[in-house]
Amino acid sequence: MESMPKPSMESDDKLHIVMLPWLAFGHMIPFLELSKLIAQKGHTVSFVSTPRNIDRLPKMPPNLAPLINLVTLQLPQVEKLPKNAESTTDLPYDKVKYLKMAYDQLQQPMTQLLADMAPDWVIYDFAPYWLGPVAAKLGISRVCFSIFIAASLCFAGPIPVLKGEDDRTTPEDFTVTPKWIPFKSNIACFRLFEVKRIFDDVASVDEENIPGTYRFGAGIEACDVLAVRSSYEFEPEWLKLLQQIHQKPIIPIGLLPTTAYDSSDNGEAWTEIKEWLDKQSKRSVVYVAFGSEAKPNQAELTEIALGLELSEFPFFWVLRNRRGVADTEVIELPNGFEERTKERGVVCTSWAPQLKILSHDSVGGFLSHAGLSSVVEAIQFKKPLILLSSLADTGLIARLLEERRMAYLIPREEQDGSFTRGSVADSLRLVIVEDEGRIYREKVKEMSGLLVDDAVQDKYVNNFLDYLKKHKQ
């Protein structure tokens, strides 16, 4: 374990904050973005993760590096967890529970780290349900930080429900609005195929699996403040309801649009991609990416590929065909697809600079899994969204965006979530070029200034830090 002594503060209003995200890049990156925004205000952050994850994080801008300490804790080995698997991106979905088991064994070294550092605050994710009581005993103030939107947290319910007192026991129970949501909304329930994919982590308990809902419940119960990656401009009614449900301070911290990193290490990859994008017409390219965790099954992959082919749009597809070496279900593109589309499409199976791609003028639409970070990046660069939701709360996010007319959802079959190549092609045409889809192109531009503007984000971070300064123990 690498630990750092508590930094000396020039004045009492400078904070030292420890960050502990879950071992998923969809969690680590928002935690890192928040760390950067906090450091920009002159506070010190100790960002804790495992060695391999720390090595894979984007490089810090030189002006912030002295204020963000990257602290490593060695991940314990547990049976059934593949070697060198330190994040969810290294694992098929059914093995993530073993990563959680290893993560839980970080309790003792994390306790020692907090005791040595004695920070003003610790900001933790949903997964370390054990951290709140540990920090409380050490006299450290506690923030539970949700990278999930307020609507998702409202749907999950109050603490007793999260911790197991839930009368929802079948997948079908999660397809209706829960009793604690007092207004009608199509966001307030899962579609059947969505909940089937995550039901084991929502409702089942065994010796190998402490559900994510229980973890969240314990984390919220033990915190002083619940911070949410959201804003009043994005979901005001849900933030208000979340306050009523939990009866404790709820602080939105903005949508955390991705800010600049030191990108000197990926210049060559970007040069090649940019050359290809530069050759395409303005707003003609479909950018396709499903994040670090979502992986379509073989049937879905086939329909996405053939839908792209049918649409006749140029496309740039970042394809993850397996989740780590332990993933035995390798998905494959249809026979002949790459040969038939080589003149107008690129399939990239390695890392690609998503921010830079989305910022390019030739990109006319983003086919995505509705992960919040990807959604925020699309809004940043005013790219209309075509969505195929996947795991976790992406279905709820997708319907919130649909309700706001900021995204179009590809039609899917209710039971199994299947869709056709024709619906993929039709959805792309609608959003990118057709008059009927103009609303999606215009709405994302309109909302960009409200949701991801630097001044708006700064307001939320200042409000959050003012609270932390006033209420530290």
| Band of residue 173 on the pLDDT scale cut at 50, 70, 90 | confident
Q: Is the same domain home to 47 and 183?
A: yes
Contact 365, 433 (CB under 8 A): no
The answer to whether residues 53 and 196 belong to one domain is yes
Per the structure, the count of domains in the chain is 2
Q: What is the mean pLDDT of residues 65-89?
A: 94
| 334 inside domain | yes
Q: How far is CA 314 from the centre of its chain?
A: 27
CA separation for the pair 74, 72 (Å, rounded):
6
Asked if pLDDT for residue 365 goes beyond 60, the answer is yes
Asked if residue 6 has pLDDT above 60, the reply is no
Q: Kindly state whether residue 419 falls inside one of the protein's structural domains.
A: yes
394-403 and 372-380 helices, crossing angle to 10°: 30
Q: How far apart are CA 429 and CA 313, in angstroms?
A: 8
For residue 343, being part of any structural domain is answered with yes
**pLDDT higher than 50, residue 3:** no
The string of pLDDT tens digits covering residues 9-44 is: 445 689 999 999 999 999 999 999 999 999 999 999
pLDDT band for 450, please (50, 70, 90 cuts).
confident
335 vs 128: CA distance, rounded Å: 44
pLDDT of res. 445: 93
pTM of the entire structure?
A: 0.91
Residue with tokens 């919040």: 372
What domain range includes position 328?
267-451
Q: What is the per-residue pLDDT across 328-360, written as a single tens digit (0 to 9) for each? A: 677 899 999 999 999 999 999 888 899 999 999
Mind listing the pLDDT tens digit for each residue in 190-240?
888 888 877 765 555 555 678 889 999 999 999 999 999 999 999 999 999
299 and 192 within one domain = no
Q: Is residue 2 part of a domain?
A: no
pLDDT for position 463: 97
Looking at residue 8, its pLDDT comes to 42
Under a CB-based contact definition with an 8 Å cutoff, are residues 419 and 413 in contact? yes
Q: What is the pLDDT of residue 373?
A: 92
What is the rounded average pLDDT of the residues 125-148?
97
- How many other C-beta atoms are found inside a 10 Å radius of the C-beta of residue 205? 12
3 part of a folded domain: no
Q: What is the mean pLDDT of the chain?
A: 90
Highest mean pLDDT (candidates 178-187, 219-228, 441-450): 219-228
| Type of residue at 456 | V
Q: Rounded CA gap, 27 and 179, in Å?
A: 29
Tokens of 273: 């991609």
Least Cα distance to 2 among 65, 73, 66 occurs for: 73
pLDDT-wise least confident of 138-142, 155-159, 199-203, 338-342:
199-203
For residue 390, the one-letter residue type is: S
pLDDT-derived band of residue 362, with 50, 70 and 90 as boundaries? very high
pLDDT of amino acid 390: 79
8 A C-beta contact, residue 85 and residue 50 = no
Q: What angle do CA 161, 166, 168 make, to 5 degrees?
A: 135
| pLDDT at 62 (0 to 100) | 92
Share of the chain above pLDDT 70, in %: 92
Asked if 160 and 285 sit in the same domain, the reply is: no
Asked whether residue 6 is assigned to any structural domain, the reply reads no
Kindly state whether residue 79 falls inside one of the protein's structural domains: yes
Residue 10 has a pLDDT of 44
* pLDDT tens-place string over residues 281-330: 999 999 999 987 777 889 999 999 999 999 999 999 999 876 666 666 77
Residue 291 lies in a domain: yes
Residues 202 and 144 in one domain: yes
- Residue 92, pLDDT score: 85
Q: Tell me, what CATH number does 36's domain have?
A: 3.40.50.2000
Confidence of residue 425 (pLDDT cuts 50, 70, 90): very high
Across 208-217, 366-375, 404-413, least confident range: 208-217
The burial of 214, by beta-carbon neighbours within 10 Å (0-12 exposed, 13-18 middle, 19 or more buried), is given as middle
pLDDT score, position 291: 80
Q: Are residues 457 and 387 in the same domain?
A: no
- Structure confidence at residue 467 (pLDDT): 97
Instruction: Looking at the structure, tell me whether residues 60 and 38 fall in a common domain.
Output: yes
Whether pLDDT at 261 is above 70: no
pLDDT grade for 169, boundaries at 50, 70 and 90: confident
Q: Where are the alpha helices (DSSP H) in 81-184?
A: 96-104, 107-117, 131-137, 150-156, 159-162
